[in-house]
Structure 1
């Protein structure tokens, strides 16, 4: 999306958000609306309100980032910015930053020594433009997880799968028992499955060659053909009603035993937590689909649109500081199901799946950059459209690879 010219015209009109009750009210927009997400938002709001000097004014936007980002961007461009907004850690706000519409957080970052405590460093690097810091990474979210309801398999006399191939082999038996082998929704969830397979089945080198190096040769490799073949298996394992289903509804299908598994980021763990399910007893988590125990390091970050009111600016900086405090990092991420970005906090209370993620990320060789950090929004959108078309049709693997090669060859 290119809106630099429009932003230049509108930049001068950036004013206090319409309807703000007073200078210390801070409207915060986000797309965290599921049960687990709402519980995590409450941690942030309660912590921000605790000082008595500021008030979190919730601006939840139903849907995913695909739905929320255009709304967020439109408001900022239109001169009606929120006080703070959640976006993915990566390039989602790149054009807004270039247009001069986001607050420079560098002085606060230096005062609070963010470079010394945020890990991996690439999370903070994703907030940097021309040497200045424009966002606060708040968590590490990883897409590379498959969630399994242990009871579905154990109650039906089946071994709990240890990888994707074992789940795919069990799919016919599960269908015979009226259980959906793989729960999902669309459209971004379908692209998520493909992208997880890109690293989990294809491996780290293939994942980086395609997404980072933009290698058409890697797209046409035999290893990438295995990825699309597995993706074809996945489209035969979902139920006919998947289209349009929210991700948390799909997660609840697994929680309730209506489905056996879901490929979804670790935010799904927040839903298991709300349902009082225990990792290792009620459900299992397989990083890298049970093959490659590697995790990407995407996540959520908060940006602070420029504002002409000094009291709002003060509240913005107080929120930015709070988001990276040790106490908030632990409380928020334990509820959200994600990992903290601070490397100096105590996570003894973390469950088995979170500890598994912590161990994986402790070895930098296991760390993957997220696609948001490597691909621009246009390329991400084209790949999502391809994944959805493939998933909802009988497109051949070879045709899909040709399409992917064309997209990657033109990617920025």
Structure 2
């Protein structure tokens, strides 16, 4: 669909080409925080403008909880019209079982191959030469979010990197602040570890561990330094008694905490709270240590349906989600980067511009969702949750991590 036609359609100034076959389409996802809800509303608005109807199937809780419900429904014969997963291998078994439809015809008609950047995003949706999902954004985990007010209250400069952040922790504690806000969920702690691995260890170490799955390297001296830093993070997070990631973000927004290691989706929460990047808060990609980001993010998969009208509506939804206009509207509110390389992001804030610059430099790597299986990810989350909750030593945690990498698939 041409941009001009789609733009006109979205504003209601032309006849709706799909109105004759309009359908209600349930879309399941786990976007329930303030920033996420504002972003997903852009998808719903654009889809409804086609004459179809977005039936919102938001599932509260973590992504892990939502995914188990989604998978159970699909395998149990109660599929939704479309469902969110992360880029990578989360829906691999569903695709292999023939429960997901391919999007080959839509992708060819819309020429997605020429506009989606980096190409690895589409590759992560491929199985046996067919395309089974559409990436809707680029989310990167490698960010340290800092409260400018918290550091002003503590009488120390806003840090420029992880090392300075750790050094400023005593001043924050003296001022009654929790240095590092962390929600009590394993995936959040895994994210901190992975960010430290790439930020402090560098690209080669990250790939040795997760791409090559080199257990010797995972148990070696370089990764030991990362576990030492993770031990620091555990100490700095004491007293951060919140559960969800957005509750931890709220601690930074309010100045109760100095910082949070979290993906760029946290930016949506700052925006909803009316905070200005570079003024009220500071964002450090790569923890201020390394100019790399991973191309994680969200994709939509479409279960195979017997209903022709809903099947057509699935194709319409896929087209609308990847249209230039919707990509801009959604990602500006989500805090993520668009998957299209041909859109105008003049309205991007300071943090988004930092991410776009790294993307333009080509300093992007595959996320762990693309490199390891969901089972391995679950084991890693369990390990990190135990480490943060107990008195496990960094040495013991590293030994278990090396064993996990040795058996990873």
TM-score, normalising length from structure 1?
0.93
Q: CA–CA distance in 1 between the matches of 2:343 and 2:159? A: 33
Q: Shift of the alpha carbon at 1:241?
A: 4.7
Which residue of structure 2 lines up, in the alignment, with residue 314 of structure 1? 312
Which residue of structure 1 lines up, in the alignment, with residue 34 of structure 2? 35
Q: CA–CA distance in 1 between the matches of 2:289 and 2:37? A: 32
CA contact 2:178–2:239 (8 Å) conserved in 1: no
Q: 1:362 aligns with which of 323, 344, 360?
A: 360
Which residue of structure 1 lines up, in the alignment, with residue 11 of structure 2? none
Which residue of structure 2 lines up, in the alignment, with residue 223 of structure 1? 222
Q: Shift of the alpha carbon at 1:397?
A: 1.6
2:398 paired with 1:404: no
Q: Any unmatched runs of 5+ in structure 1?
A: 1-21
Which residue of structure 2 lines up, in the alignment, with residue 389 of structure 1? 386
Aligned Cα root-mean-square deviation (Å): 1.1
Q: Any idea what the Cα deviations from partners look like across 1:309-351, whole Å, max 9, x if unmatched?
A: 0000000000001111000000000000000000000000000
Count of aligned pairs: 388
**Correspondence 1:40-55 to 2 at 5 A:** 40-52=39-51, 54-55=52-53
Q: CA–CA distance in 1 between the matches of 2:234 and 2:156? A: 22
Q: 3-state SS of the aligned residue for 2:236?
A: coil
Q: CA–CA distance in 2 between the matches of 1:86 and 1:263? A: 23
**Correspondence 1:5-404 to 2 at 5 A:** 24-52=23-51, 54-185=52-183, 186-242=185-241, 245-364=243-362, 366-404=363-401
Q: CA–CA distance in 2 between the matches of 1:26 and 1:130? A: 27
CA contact 1:375–1:411 (8 Å) conserved in 2: yes
Q: 3-state SS of the aligned residue for 2:44?
A: helix
CA contact 1:147–1:262 (8 Å) conserved in 2: yes
Q: Shift of the alpha carbon at 1:239?
A: 3.2
Q: Any idea what the Cα deviations from partners look like across 1:350-377, whole Å, max 9, x if unmatched?
A: 001000000001122x111100000001
Q: CA–CA distance in 2 between the matches of 1:387 and 1:198? A: 14
CA contact 2:180–2:240 (8 Å) conserved in 1: no
Q: CA–CA distance in 2 between the matches of 1:397 and 1:156? A: 29
Q: CA–CA distance in 1 between the matches of 2:177 and 2:395? A: 30
Q: CA–CA distance in 2 between the matches of 1:392 and 1:168? A: 20
Q: Shift of the alpha carbon at 1:395?
A: 1.2
Which residue of structure 2 lines up, in the alignment, with residue 19 of structure 1? none
CA contact 2:215–2:406 (8 Å) conserved in 1: yes
Q: Shift of the alpha carbon at 1:156?
A: 2.9
Q: Shift of the alpha carbon at 1:175?
A: 1.1
Q: CA–CA distance in 2 between the matches of 1:286 and 1:241? A: 21
Q: CA–CA distance in 2 between the matches of 1:51 and 1:104? A: 22
CA contact 1:23–1:309 (8 Å) conserved in 2: no
CA contact 1:26–1:84 (8 Å) conserved in 2: yes
CA contact 1:339–1:354 (8 Å) conserved in 2: yes
Q: Shift of the alpha carbon at 1:137?
A: 0.3
TM-score, normalising length from structure 2?
0.93
Q: CA–CA distance in 2 between the matches of 1:112 and 1:23? A: 20
Q: CA–CA distance in 2 between the matches of 1:241 and 1:249? A: 10
